[in-house]
Amino acid sequence: MSAPFDRSLTGDVESGIARDFAVSPQAGDEERVVESALRPHSLHDFIGQPKVARQLALVLEGAKRRGRPPDHVLLSGPPGLGKTSLALIIGSELGTAVKITSGPAIERSGDLAAMLSNLGSGDVLFIDEIHRIARPAEELLYMAMEDFRVDVVVGKGPGATAIPLEINPFTLVGATTRAGLLTGPLRDRFGFVGQMEFYEPTELQRVLARSADLLGVELTDDGSAEIAGRSRGTPRIANRLLRRVRDYAEVEADGRVTRAVARAALALYDVDELGLDRLDRAVLEALVARFNGGPVGVSTLAVAVGEEPHTVEEVCEPFLVRAGLLARTPRGRVATEAAWRHLGRPVPRGGVPLGGVTAAPRDPGSSSEPLFDA
């Protein structure tokens, strides 16, 4: 299977925020090269997401028995959970080529038409961040997905002519971190939708064991458990932390990644027991120490930690909310009792007011929705 890159996949956050921290779920260009060496090449080797993997296996096997391309596939979920890996696995299982691009790279419908016309029969077209595709290109995609045909407009004004162009049957695999931003007509044209979930620590240990074997790292069970517990339920973060701990083990220890070595290395990289980094802890410290736990507005909180409001809202808050350390209320951000305890501070008398909502501590690797939309 070949996987030519028609467009580069950038690792920027949608809001334009770049984060060069050890626990960022985004991947830069250099990290994608390392990830490609660690990616599984079949559903049998793919770890985690058992429900999505099982459903996808049935879709692909049925298509192969019928001798036709499978339905178009939409993979939705937070970054770093394996959407790109599954897209490449689909091509590998079908024995076809995979063409890779990203939504922001398709600015004009002509770009997409050229890409579609170059697809071979049964090829897989993978569009990352498909919710960011330009509207003219999206409308062209409708007809391509349903009828395997595109209309190329030649000329302008009253003399413009639409020339129908037949394209080979193909399978579109779209990946998105924000399924709610997809338009209804586009979402309805996908025959299979897979919702990716955060990984459990035991699943991450299996991911780490496989990666350690490929990287030639001697990883003990307790060292694997220590790294998995700080990886925020995300394989990309787990593999990144493994590489950083490997560096520490080779330079400062005997090369073996044990619990003690992992703890010392992750402490050096400012990743604590829950997977919080320096900025995460700064947000909680400001909320608890300067504002007595809140409520406080996100703009005020951002000024207190010296960051932009979008950085706090888009980068820090999702994990803090999921871990049960912070709550979004109509009046502002509030630190939960779990946040006070995690920072080693006594919980205020009478508890923490959350607008009538009690936030219980959660497993950082589990999936949950924010308490409030505000």
* Count of residues in the chain: 374
83 is catalytic: yes
Set 83, 187, 246, 281: catalytic member: 83
Helix (H, G, I), strand (E, B) or coil at 44: coil
For residue 108, indicate whether it is catalytic: no
Whether 146 has a binding-site annotation, put simply, is yes
Question: Is 333 annotated in some ligand binding site?
Answer: yes
Active-site residue flag, 128: yes
20 labeled part of a ligand binding site: no
Q: Which of 19, 84, 123, 277 is catalytic?
A: 84
148 belongs to an annotated ligand binding site: yes
Please choose, from the candidates 60, 86, 55, 85, the residue with its C-alpha nearest in 3D space to the C-alpha of residue 71.
60
Which SS3 state, helix, strand or coil, does residue 55 take?
A: helix
From 96, 101, 177, 311, the catalytic residue: 177
From the candidates 111, 123, 128, 277, which is the catalytic residue?
128
Contacts of 144 (CB under 8 A, 6+ apart): 112, 116, 150, 167, 172
* 84 is an annotated ligand-binding site residue: yes
Nearest to 234 by CA among 55, 47, 86: 47
Q: Is 80 annotated as a binding residue?
A: yes
Q: What distances in angstroms separate CA 220 from CA 50, 109, 223, 239, one per listed residue?
A: 25, 51, 5, 15
- Element of type H or E holding 145: helix 135-147
Measuring CA to CA, which residue among 119, 102, 98, 126 is closest to residue 41? Answer: 98
Q: Which of 93, 99, 98 is nearest to 43 (CA)?
A: 93
- 161-166 and 149-154: which strand pairing? antiparallel
| Residue 96 among known ligand-binding residues | no
**In whole angstroms, what is the distance from residue 345 CA to residue 352 CA?**
13
64 is catalytic: no
Q: Is 259 within any annotated ligand binding site?
A: no
Q: Are the C-beta atoms of 373 and 338 separated by less than 8 Å?
A: no
Q: Which uninterrupted H or E stretch holds 166?
A: strand 161-166
For residue 232, indicate whether it is catalytic: no
- Annotated ligand binding at 51? The verdict is no
Is 291 labeled as ligand-binding? no
- Tokens in use for 53? 């993997």
196: left (phi over 0), alpha (psi -120 to 50) or beta: beta
Catalytic residue, candidates 19, 236, 240, 322: 236
Residue 12: partners with Cβ closer than 8 Å, 6 or more residues away:
18, 26
Q: 64 a known binding residue? A: no
Please indicate if the annotation marks 112 as binding a ligand: no
Q: Which two tokens stand for residue 54?
A: 């099982």
Bridge partner list, 175: 75
Nearest to 318 by CA among 352, 350, 274, 364: 364
Please give the positions annotated as active site. 83-84, 128, 177, 236
Residues of each annotated binding site for ATP:
38-39, 80, 83-85, 146-148, 189, 199, 236
Binding residue ranges: 38-39, 80, 83-85, 146-148, 189, 199, 236, 328, 333
Binding-site positions for Mg(2+) read: 84
